[in-house]
Amino acid sequence: MLTIENLEVAYFNAIQVLKGLTLSVDDSEVVALLGANGAGKTTLLKAVSGLLPLENGAIGEGRIRFQDQLINKTPPHELARAGLLHVREGRRIFTEMSVEENLISATYALTGRDAQPDFEAVYNYFPQLKDRARQTAGLLSGGELQMLAIGRALIGQPRLILLDEPSLGLAPKIVDEIFDIIARINQEQNVSILLVEQNANAAFRIAHRGYILEGGKVVLEGSVADLRRNPDIQTFYLGLG
């Protein structure tokens, strides 16, 4: 589904953030990407979804392939239309618009103005959003905003979703609820998911494999079962040390 080989990324202020990163996400797989603040996780997602040129960054060496196509230079709207959706950190919802209008705008962006939004594709997973369809999105709770952000991606019939810190700022119970739904979306829709998280416990609950990023490189990778047994992961990521 997604393969990244030896990726190097720098911002125009000359900070090199990714220094030869290699990773892959298979069909129908949930892959967790963990790493300390500043390791380059968000930068990697922006490189994949084509956002770097909009944010003063650029890909140097390396290759990114999505469904066997080289996408190093593909713009974000084309990738989104091909089924590669990025749910950005901070949720990025239009707070002045209603829930439904946010879903309509996502539909227009993804499929053009004649398209009929498939609200049920979203409400099937997030029934709470249906109850709030006409409400201004700015009044939603943090958990509901995250649901709406994922809902906007779902409306694009995704093949791969890049999820940046969906647990950020949410109470543990809401995190569990949202992660259960992410797992259902993965299983029922055969959507692959690349999940960037600080909350390793939550990520490992739904991921199949994981990568640890340090200083712009992968320093450890493996199945979630193997990563859970690693003493460093237990100490630094799972709070067990």
Q: What is the Cα–Cα distance from 209 to 223, expressed in whole angstroms?
A: 4
Contact stretch for ligand ATP (CB under 6 A) within 10-18, 61-69, 73-81, 183-191: 10-18
Q: How far is the CB of 1 from ligand ATP (least distance, A)?
A: 21
Tokens of 24: 């892959």
* Residue 39 binding ligand ATP, by CB under 6 A: yes
Q: Give how many residues touch ligand ATP by CB under 6 A.
A: 15
Q: State yes or no: residue 43 binds ligand ATP (CB under 6 A).
A: yes
CB of 13 to ligand ATP, least distance (A): 5
DSSP structural state of residue 98 = B
Contact 159, 192 (CB under 8 A): yes
**Per DSSP, what are the bridge partners of residue 210?**
32, 222
Q: State which residue, 40 or 156, has the beta carbon closest to ligand ATP.
A: 40
Q: Does 37 bind ligand ATP (CB under 6 A)?
A: yes
Q: How many whole angstroms from its chain centre is CA 147?
A: 13
Find the shortest distance in angstroms from Cβ 76 to ligand ATP: 15
Give, as ranges, the residues between 140 and 169 that touch ligand ATP (CB under 6 A). none
CB-CB contact of 8 with 59 (8 Å):
yes
Both structure tokens of 99: 């829930």
Task: Kindly state the smallest distance separating residue 89's Cβ from ligand ATP, in Å.
Answer: 6
Burial classification of residue 96, based on how many CB atoms lie within 10 Å of its CB (0-12 exposed, 13-18 middle, 19 or more buried): exposed
Q: Which residues bind ligand ATP (CB under 6 A)?
A: 11, 13, 15, 17, 35, 37-43, 55-57
